[in-house]
Structure 1
Amino acid sequence: MDFRLSEEQKMIATTAYRIGEEFGLSYWREQDEKKAFPTELWQAVCGAGLAGVALPEEYGGAGQGMLEMALIVENLSASGGGSTLGQLFMINPIFGGVTISKYGTEKMKQELLPKLVSGEINFCMALTEARAGSNSLELKTFADEDGDGWRLNGEKLWITAVDHAQKMLVIARTKKVEDVQKRTDGLSMFMIDVDREGLTYHPIDKVGTRTLSSCSVFFDEVRIEPEELVGTLHGGWKELLDTLNTERIVTTAGLVGAGDLALRLAVAYANDRKVFGDKPVSAYQGIQFPLAQAKAEIESARLLNYKAAAQFDIGEPFGSEANAAKLIAAQAVANATERSMQAMGGMGYATESHLERLWRDARLFRFAPVSEEMILNFIAIHDLGMPRSY
């Protein structure tokens, strides 16, 4: 098992960090205050070819893998963006890129993937529903047959960056639960236009990740064309898992980068601050030990995430590793941001320290895109062989 990065991977990581540095912490603080989409940053990412790193070369991508994508997200996050950086890659290279490249038609690939790589279009995914929550098999949004296409009706909740997306990956039932033998049957994926008659959305005010909106979405007799089906009609559940599990990888990478950034800010402040004599406060074990513990936990999440990404790239199962890495990362970064703020004392609570934004943003990922409790259920059932509890 070789843990060394190739020279090309090191170059990719360095490029990502340098792009992130060009914008820096002040840029992200301003975007957060304005609740503004980081358009300039994303255009720079796309201009450097990083958005398409894991997409096929014939559609404008770099033909690399999920490991390289994780390195990019991690370094962009560590250079200033924090954990919300992972969401930028979630909505575009994952929801759009992975889904289309694996299950889209050839026409869909040729039309949409080059525009994703260049940053010409953005994506979002409409999966979560208020009454289903983590139980995606209980979705109520339904696509009825309508001639050669479908009519979509229903509601979605907590849908990221709808207001800056041109395309929406919608997961809906095309067969009712009572009409299928297994609950995993009867789900389908569609890639539709956000600007479409019958589709409306409203933003939800929230405490963190404010550079990317979260919206309630409503479908009222929305027409879906036959060519907008992604993958297998009624058989979308297993195909959706490739999207959801790779979503975990970029989420974890964003968290790991945010943890690195929080610790770096805390250590720099603590090394400089002297209160009791000539020693910096960082010399005291009360400051050192919590930060050292967080560092160890973040490194564990990083390595497990690399394993998940590498296994995806060679076609091996990766869901267990992706879920466990996300669990550890979310907890580790919650601890890292909290303890980093504590190390800085009152200044950790000031917006100028940037830590309060990292702290607010990271809190989301204790329950999104999958909650800690559902990950623990997954590990218990699939990895330990224990009975289902729900």
Structure 2
Amino acid sequence: MTALITDSDEHRLIRESTAKIAARYGHAYYSERARTGAGLEELWGELGEAGLLGVHLPEEYGGGGAGLSELVVVLEELSAHGMPILSSVISPAICGSILAAHASPEMKRAWLPDIASGRRRMAFAVTEPDAGSNSHAITTTARSDGGGWRISGAKYFISALNEADAVLVVTRDGDLAPSASGRSPLSLFVVPINTPGLQYQPIETELVCPDKQFTLFFDDVRLDGDALIGERGKGLRQVFAGLNPERITASALSNGIGRYAVAKARDYARERTVWSTPIGAHQGIAHPLAEAHIGVELARLATARSAELFDAGQDAATAANIAKFTAAEASLKALDQAIQTHGGNGLSREYGLADLWFVARLLRTAPVSREMVLNFVAQHSLGLPNSY
């Protein structure tokens, strides 16, 4: 298909390397592992060994030394092969970016090489049952305890804890006074998954996705002093080092789903004949698919631009939010039209379309809902009063 995005030579090589690995697995592998809960260890290991998971992380800590633009290529291409992997947004993009920006050299050496290689993974815990993703309403609390820390509280809808070696947790710092606005300072910690007092339980969802969801409990969890990321009480600024990468890479997943859906529908519309005519010859099929393709390509451009701004060290918040919104909407529209193009076959497991609706729909809500994106754009782009 003709695309608006033209890869640089470097991006073309990254895309080809990713596609070569992805083609050995494909959507059937992803779907089977999602339904059985077996995990994607083989695929994850190959991606790490090829240097694709850590392509954006610093070379001195085992990464590829490139930027988020390169990670976007990797994640989009995996998704375009029917494998939108949520863990790829969480461990290398969110956690890796936060550690690379704010962790001590010792913590970077301890974690970044293994995150880049895929040998270890990290989950990210910010959302809470009564706070959602509103970091100002977090109640999970960390307090200093001699030379260490104690954490108590709970987190909700935390992805892939069962595959993680540690969790990067956002807490309210219970020892520091609130700011003049009444907001409590935040502190971030890396908590190994086997730490005493840390427990989690699965959340039953309808998602057909290898990355399961969990509630996470901190029952007076004791940590050593070196578990703290950067400076205590500065967690809000630290979290933002991961939020733009989160939105941008989530956009990449949505764009890949959109590409996958349009490509499947195009091929089916070429091959499926009714009364000796390919159904793609009918404008009732062709026009909606063309419109879906346009939407996906525009979302890809928005995502590429947001990653470009982030890599240049510029303010990428508005671009990242716009990309996330656009990509999620376009992928759902493309996927729905692909299913419609297939008729009844669109709901057949054999054709590998309908099960992706759950992840595509999740990406409309997470990692930030469309409503919160609209709030942000209304306030920061249009200058309207804050609505919350």
Under a length normalisation based on structure 1, what TM-score does the superposition of the two structures give?
Answer: 0.95
Give CA deviations for 1:91-134 in whole Å, capped at 9, x if unaligned.
Answer: 22123311111100000111111111222111101110010113
SS at match of 1:219: strand
SS at match of 1:102: helix
CA contact (8 A) 1:185 1:237 kept: no
CA contact (8 A) 1:202 1:215 kept: yes
Match of 1:135 in 2: 134
Q: Which of 1, 4, 7 lines up with 1:5 in the alignment?
A: 7
C-alpha RMSD over aligned residues: 1.6
Match of 1:382 in 2: 380
What CA distance in whole angstroms lies between the structure 2 residues aligned with 1:294 and 1:185?
44
Match of 2:266 in 1: 267
Map 1:135-154 → 2, pairs under 5 A: 135-154=134-153
Match of 2:327 in 1: 329
In the TM superposition, what is the alpha-carbon distance from 1:3 to its structure 2 partner? 6.7
Map 1:362-377 → 2, pairs under 5 A: 362-377=360-375
What CA distance in whole angstroms lies between the structure 1 residues aligned with 2:181 and 2:303?
31
SS at match of 2:355: helix
Runs of 4+ residues deviating >2 angstroms: 2-6, 175-180, 182-185
What CA distance in whole angstroms lies between the structure 2 residues aligned with 1:334 and 1:6?
28
Q: Which of 27, 50, 53 lines up with 1:51 in the alignment?
A: 53
Residue identity in the other structure for 2:195: R
Residue identity in the other structure for 1:147: G
What CA distance in whole angstroms lies between the structure 1 residues aligned with 2:5 and 2:211?
34
Q: Does 1:234 align with 2:259?
A: no
Match of 1:358 in 2: 356
Under a length normalisation based on structure 2, what TM-score does the superposition of the two structures give?
Answer: 0.96
In the TM superposition, what is the alpha-carbon distance from 1:36 to its structure 2 partner? 2.7
CA contact (8 A) 2:91 2:124 kept: no
What CA distance in whole angstroms lies between the structure 2 residues aligned with 1:223 and 1:151?
5
Residue identity in the other structure for 1:238: R
What CA distance in whole angstroms lies between the structure 2 residues aligned with 1:345 and 1:324?
32
What 5-or-longer segments of structure 2 have no aligned partner?
A: none
Q: Does 1:121 align with 2:120?
A: yes
CA contact (8 A) 1:36 1:210 kept: no
SS at match of 2:377: helix
SS at match of 1:207: coil
Residue identity in the other structure for 2:217: F
SS at match of 2:60: helix
CA contact (8 A) 1:185 1:235 kept: no
Residue identity in the other structure for 1:179: P
SS at match of 2:143: strand
Give CA deviations for 1:141-198 in whole Å, capped at 9, x if unaligned.
Answer: 0112211222101010000010110111000000489732235551111111111111
SS at match of 2:306: helix
In the TM superposition, what is the alpha-carbon distance from 1:5 to its structure 2 partner? 3.1
Match of 2:311 in 1: 313
CA contact (8 A) 1:95 1:169 kept: no
In the TM superposition, what is the alpha-carbon distance from 1:245 to its structure 2 partner? 1.2
CA contact (8 A) 1:199 1:218 kept: yes
In the TM superposition, what is the alpha-carbon distance from 1:300 to its structure 2 partner? 1.0
Q: Which of 336, 344, 362 lines up with 1:346 in the alignment?
A: 344
Residue identity in the other structure for 1:324: I
CA contact (8 A) 1:175 1:234 kept: no
Match of 1:27 in 2: 29
CA contact (8 A) 2:35 2:208 kept: no
Q: Is 95-104 or 213-222 further displaced after alignment?
A: 95-104
Q: Is 26-35 or 119-128 further displaced after alignment?
A: 26-35
What CA distance in whole angstroms lies between the structure 2 residues aligned with 1:290 and 1:183?
50
What CA distance in whole angstroms lies between the structure 2 residues aligned with 1:377 and 1:120?
38
CA contact (8 A) 1:91 1:124 kept: yes
Match of 1:210 in 2: 209
CA contact (8 A) 1:21 1:80 kept: no
SS at match of 2:167: strand
Residue identity in the other structure for 1:190: F
SS at match of 1:297: helix
Give CA deviations for 1:335-389 in whole Å, capped at 9, x if unaligned.
Answer: 1111110110000001111101221211101111100000000000111110011
Match of 1:245 in 2: 244
CA contact (8 A) 1:122 1:165 kept: yes
In the TM superposition, what is the alpha-carbon distance from 1:29 to its structure 2 partner? 2.0
Residue identity in the other structure for 2:291: Q
CA contact (8 A) 1:19 1:44 kept: yes
| Percent identical residues | 38
What CA distance in whole angstroms lies between the structure 2 residues aligned with 1:3 and 1:268?
21
Q: Which of 16, 19, 22 lines up with 1:17 in the alignment?
A: 19
In the TM superposition, what is the alpha-carbon distance from 1:230 to its structure 2 partner? 0.8
Change (3 A) 1:264 1:155: same
Match of 1:155 in 2: 154
What 5-or-longer segments of structure 1 have no aligned partner?
A: none
SS at match of 2:74: helix
CA contact (8 A) 1:137 1:183 kept: no
